């Protein structure tokens, strides 16, 4: 069984935030698969199942994502875990993949690491960093600007394809096929 987790915050006010790209990918994956909803309060999240694939959106808020992940892992004991998340250290439009490593200051990853360890697959979606002195929390909890919507749709589309591939294929294959180095911000006219 494979567990695919999208990180984000559950309230509607966060729906289009940079921090919620993981939820955005999961929503699309759930729509693309014939899923059933699994309602169990101890999972502390929205859980969907399609054959041998579980899709999870933790409802614990970002900083406590590991609580939900641990509960689902304890129950289903997945062989493969994939976490989809925003990454401040990557420019907007960048897509990278890895297994394990540090959390880069990402509180959702920090929480998951503390509950299940670090050895899970990561789909890292670059959201860039604030250009002014705005603090990080305000940046990640703000919506993508309208000017970035078209490019956001493109990167989400590639992220969805890559995640589907990662469920079945090796990391090296997916990395070589789907890694995106495009920095859309560099292409904007001044």
**Domains within the chain, CATH numbers bracketed:** 2-187 (3.40.50.1470)
Q: What is the pLDDT of residues 36-52, one digit of tens each?
A: 999 999 999 999 999 99
Give, rounded to a whole angstrom, the gap between the first and last alpha carbons of the chain.
48
Does residue 67 carry a pLDDT above 90? yes
Could you read off the pLDDT of 112-164 as tens digits, one per residue?
Answer: 999 999 999 999 999 998 877 668 889 999 999 999 999 999 999 999 999 99
Mean predicted confidence (pLDDT) in 48-76: 97
What does the pLDDT average to over 96-102?
A: 96
Is residue 115 flagged as an active site residue?
no
What tens digit of pLDDT does each residue of 2-21 get? 999 999 999 999 999 999 99
Q: What is the pLDDT of residue 133?
A: 64
pLDDT of 182 higher than 90:
no
Give the predicted TM-score (pTM) of the model: 0.94
Q: Out of 19, 33, 85, 115, pick the active-site residue.
A: 19
């Amino acid at each position: 069984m494979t567990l695919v987790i999208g990180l984000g915050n559950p309230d509607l006010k966060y729906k289009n935030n940079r921090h919620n790209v993981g939820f955005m990918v999961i929503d699309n994956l759930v729509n693309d698969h014939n899923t059933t909803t699994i309602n169990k309060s101890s999972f502390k999240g929205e859980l969907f199942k399609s054959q041998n694939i579980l899709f999870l959106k933790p409802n614990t808020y970002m900083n406590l994502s590991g609580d939900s992940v641990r509960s689902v892992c304890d129950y289903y004991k997945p062989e493969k875990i994939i976490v989809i998340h925003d990454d401040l250290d990557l420019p907007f439009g960048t897509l990278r993949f890895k297994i394990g490593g540090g959390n880069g200051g990402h509180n959702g990853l920090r929480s998951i690491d503390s509950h299940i360890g670090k050895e899970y697959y990561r789909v890292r979606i670059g959201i860039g960093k604030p250009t002014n002195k705005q603090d990080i929390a305000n940046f990640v909890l703000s919506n993508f600007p309208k000017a970035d919507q078209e490019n956001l749709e493109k990167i989400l589309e590639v992220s969805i394809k890559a995640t589907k591939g990662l469920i079945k294929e090796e990391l090296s294959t997916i990395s070589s096929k789907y890694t995106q180095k495009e920095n859309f911000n560099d292409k904007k006219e001044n």
